Amino acid sequence: MDIESVAPTEIPEGAHLIDVREDDEWTAGHAPRAQHVPASSFMEHLGELPEDDDPLFIVCRSGGRSFQVTQWLNQNGFEAINVAGGMDIWFESSLPMVSETDAEPYVL
């Protein structure tokens, strides 16, 4: 099965962006409109995903974890798209980021 991937700059405005990085990575910096659902506990939080028919854009730090989650979602009835290069490329592309602390957001 081929997995569709897009660059961070190609994510449509208003799209469902799901960040599957772990808590410390999320706290350091994330996309302002992202929803946090860590890959390590993804199954426990499956019910928190949006229930409409819009695709889910899945992001991690560099694209590995998001690829695996995207693959699983697509095999289980969801429409999911991997964000190639992840938050590393997001940051390099100067896209907006926020932090859960007072520190400047960064990619951990």
List the beta bridge partners of residue 18: 35, 58
Residue 52 phi/psi, 5-degree rounding, is: -80, -175
Q: pTM to 2 decimals?
A: 0.95
Catalytic residue among 31, 59, 60, 81: 60
Q: Is 50 a known active-site residue? A: no
pLDDT of residue 51: 87
SS3 46: helix
pLDDT of residue 1: 64
Task: Note down pLDDT in tens along the chain; length 108 residues.
Answer: 689 999 999 999 999 999 999 999 999 999 999 999 999 999 999 999 998 889 999 999 999 999 999 999 999 999 999 999 999 999 999 999 999 999 999 999
Element housing 67 (H / E): helix 64-75
